[in-house]
Amino acid sequence: MRAVDIIIKKREHLELSSNELKEFLHGYLKGDVTDYQMSAFLMAVFLNGLSDNELKVLTETMRDSGDLIHLEGVERFLIDKHSTGGVGDKTSIALAPLLSTFGIGTAKMSGKGLGHTGGTLDKFDAIPGFKFPASEEEMVKSIDHSGIGIMGQTEDIVPLDKKLYALRDVTGTVDSYPLIASSIMSKKLAVRSDGIILDVKVGDGAFMKTLENAQTLANIMRDIGSMFNRKVHIVLSGMEQPLGNAIGNGLEVYEAVESLKGNGPKDFEELITTITGIALVQKGDVKTIEEGINMAIEKLHSGEAVTALRDFVADCHGDASYIEQPEKFLTAKYKFELKAEESGCISQLKAESVGTAGMLLGAGRETKDDIIDHAVGIVLEKKVGDKVNIGDTLAVLHYNNENDKFKQSLALLQSAYVISNSNIETPKVILDIQ
C-alpha cells in the first residue's frame, strides 16, 4: 500500500492493519516515507485518534526501532520512574537512593531539559567530574553497587520516537494523547524493569493543565503497560506551584541531598515517600501503599539513603564530597531577596512564571543549544498557604550576572506571587493514585 493510501485510510477513520502501520513507520525511519507524508499522518492521528491495536503497534515499533536495555545479571527488583516534568522536579535524585535502601534498583533513561530548569542529566552535571554510565555494562555495575541505574538516552534507543517527536514539535501535533502516551511508554518498554511508576504532573507549571486531561493520559499509558504485561502505577501530582523550594540545577541537588537527611520540604518528601510506597507494593514487600509510605518516611529520616547517592556519584567519577557537603553547590556570585510588599496569605505562586524566571537567570534553556549555569536559580522562602508580613522574604534569587535578564527574572518572579487577605489552604501534592 502506498503512503498516501495509509494517510487517506487514517483520515477516513478507518483502522490500519498491523502490517500496514508497521510498513509505514519503517518506511519513515528508512527515508522512503517523506516528512510531509508523515506530517499528514500525524495530523490525521491528532484528529481521529488511534485504535487499541494501532496504539500497541506504534508503541512496539518505536520500542523495537533501536537497542533494548536488558540489564542482564541484575538481581535487584527494578523500578523505572518517569515524570512528565515540572518546575523544581528533582524527584529522581532523591528517589533512586531511597529505593536503593529497600533493595530496589532504579533503571531509567533520562534526558536534558528544554525550558524551565534542566532535566535530570543537567542536575547531576552540577557535580564536578560527573559522567553518567555510557553503556549497558556500566549501568549494570552501577545498579549492582549503589542500586542506582540512570543513564542518558542514546541515539540508538527508540530512534523512531526521536524522529517523530521532532516532526510533531513543528506540525502542531504534540498535544495528542495517544502520541504522547506511546512516546513515553516506548522509552519505558525499551528498558528492562519489574515495575513502572509514572508521575503525571497537573497544573500551571505542567504540560497537563487539568486533572481531567492528566487522567485521560494516565489511562492510556496504563493501558499500554497492560498490553505489554508491565506493572504500571500512575501518580497524579500537583504543579500549580513549584515542587519543593529550589529551582535551578545545583540548588535542586542540594535540596535533594538535604531531603535524604530528613531536612527537605514537606511537599517534596511526600512525593518521594509516596512513590517509594508504591514501589514497595509492586515489589511485594507490603500490601498497602500507606504501609510502604510509613516505611519510606522512617528510612528517609535515618539518612541511610545519602550513602547510596554518594556511591552512585563516586561510581560516575563525580566529586562525592558534594554529597557529603552539599553547601558546595551554593556558588552563585550574588543573591537578591525578594520582599513582600503587602501582608496577607500567599494565595498563588504561579509555577510556570517561577520556572521561566529561573530560566532567564540561566537555570534552563530557551533553545536546545543554550548553555546552563548550574549555580543559578531561585529558592522559595514562602509558598501557597503561608502568611506573610510586609518586608518578609518571599524568595531568594541566586545569580551571576546583573543584566536585563536578571531584571526580567525578578519582575516575573514578583508577578508569580499573589497575596490575599483570606486564609488559603496548602495545596495537595498527591491528587490521585491509579
Residues belonging to the active site: 82, 161, 168, 183, 187
DSSP, residue by residue, 252-308: HHHHHHHHHTT-S-HHHHHHHHHHHHHHHHHHTS-SSHHHHHHHHHHHHTTTTHHHH
Amino acid at 357: A
Q: Which residues pair with 395 in a beta bridge?
A: 338, 380
C-alpha cell at 38: 508523515
CA gap 173, 195 in Å, rounded: 30
Eight-class DSSP state of 365: B
- Contacts with 325 (C-beta within 8 Å, 6 or more apart), sequence order: none
Enter the C-alpha cell of residue 255.
Answer: 535540596
Distance (Å, whole) CA 62 – CA 24: 12
Q: What distance in Å separates the CA atoms of residue 320 and residue 14, rounded to the nearest whole number? A: 57
Strand residue runs (E) in 131-194: 148-152
Buried b (16+ CB within 10 A) or exposed e, 154-175: eeebbebbbbbbebbeebebee
What is the amino acid identity at position 363?
A
What CA–CA distance (Å, rounded) separates 376 from 247?
9
Amino acid in the structure at residue 231: K
Cα separation, 358 vs 339, in Å, equals 17
Q: Where are the extended beta strands (E) located within 87-134?
A: 104-110
Q: How far is 373 from 393, CA to CA, in rounded Å?
A: 24
- CA 381 to CA 364: how far, in whole Å? 21
For residue 59 the three cell numbers come to 508503541
CA–CA gap between residue 19 and residue 33 (Å, rounded):
15
Spatial separation of the C-alpha atoms in residues 276 and 94, rounded to whole Å:
11
**3-state SS class at 329:** helix
The residue whose grid cell reads 492510556 is: 220
